[in-house]
Amino acid sequence: MTTKPTAVVTGGAGFIGSHMVDVLLERGYAVRVIDDFSGGHERNLAHLAGNPDLAVEHADIRGLAPGSALFEGARFVFHFAGIGDIVPSIEKPIDYMDINVQGTVKILECARAAGVQKLVYAASSSCYGLADVPTREDHPIDPKYPYALSKYQGEQAALHWHKVYGLPVNSVRIFNAYGTRVRTTGAYGAVFGVFFKQKLAGKPFTVVGDGTQGRDFLYVTDVARAFLAAAETKHTGEIYNLGAGNPQTVNRLVELLGGDVVYIPKRPGEPDCTWADIGKITSKLGWAPVVSFEEGVGRMTAEIENWRDAPLWDPDSIEQATKTWFRYMAPTGEA
């Protein structure tokens, strides 16, 4: 009798993490999910109920210690657990540094003690700040807000553990992931959640600036496949940019969804375009995106009812929610 290889997915009840679980189970792995459910949801794993190859542990990553049974015998660790969003990170920087940096160190130590074959860290393209495009992995680092800084420092810790302790690590800098199960509640942020609720309510889409800004949207199943490739490769100690390499404008999203538009002020510190140079990940790992933007938006629209209980944003509520953003992100003298 052969035993299935085991993978640990931190944040496995979250948006990307739950899709990672799906891919791993499909590829014949047994999966252990670690999630405190502060951002993830049980419904993201509900379709897997009763699967004998899935175990879910309700735990805060900061409470884990080397020798944890959750990592025993694991081949791979995929580290997605953490907290996101720009404005909350500006308001509560200690929380972000604690969870995204110190929490990552706890995972690194657990993985090191367990002797895992590879840890793949979910990094963020926000580390580049207002970057030249298309953006390569060797672009200068310039995080603009605490979330970006915390994710970059978590990545640096992972690479340091590789350098000092020999822990096999790869880091994947995600650009703009989207897809089914993306967060529907919480802080003002992700454009899809905002727009889908507005469409359901028959309200105009709140488009920042003139809508010509581009985002390198990559469908979440393509993200998960890339992470598995980063785990299974012989390469280690590497950083890979991950996007579709084909930016889409917010206006194009509005066109696909269909509806009226109201324009709100452009926000300081936001790039006009995010665009991953994916030459390295495609050549080194043999990965390529397969889900087109139109197909991805169609998949999400088919499940639009999932956003029925999401918060409804309008220009006034967005202005209130982003006051901190404008206060701290505006260039000196413009706040």
For 61-110, write each residue's pLDDT tens digit.
Answer: 999 999 999 999 999 999 999 999 888 999 999 999 999 999 999 999 99
With beta carbons less than 8 A apart as the criterion, state whether 45 and 33 touch.
Answer: yes
Q: Of residues 96, 145, 147, 219, which has the active-site annotation?
A: 147
Single-letter code of the amino acid located at 135: T
Specify whether 147 is catalytic: yes
With beta carbons less than 8 A apart as the criterion, state whether 234 and 244 touch.
Answer: no
| C-alpha count within 13 angstroms, C-beta hemisphere, residue 200 | 20
Using alpha carbons only, give the angle 118, 57, 41 rounded to the nearest 5 degrees.
100
How confident is the model at residue 176, as a pLDDT? 95
How confident is the model at residue 269, as a pLDDT? 80
How confident is the model at residue 325, as a pLDDT? 84
How confident is the model at residue 314, as a pLDDT? 94
Retrieve residue 208's tokens.
Answer: 């920042």
Options 3.40.50.300, 3.40.50.720, 1.10.510.10, 2.160.20.10; CATH for 6-177+218-242 is 3.40.50.720
Q: Domain 180-215+245-273+292-329 has what CATH class? A: alpha beta
Partners of residue 218 on adjacent β-strands: 177
**First and final CA of the chain: distance in angstroms?**
66
List the one residue out of 156, 125, 160 whose CA is nearest residue 281: 125
Using alpha carbons only, give the angle 213, 218, 223 rounded to the nearest 5 degrees.
150
How confident is the model at residue 334, as a pLDDT? 46
Distance CA 39, CA 83 (A): 8
Mean pLDDT per segment of 10 residues, for the chain of length 335 residues?
88 98 98 96 96 98 98 98 92 97 98 98 97 98 97 98 98 97 73 93 95 97 98 98 97 96 90 96 98 98 93 93 87 49
| Extents of the domains making up the chain | 6-177+218-242, 180-215+245-273+292-329
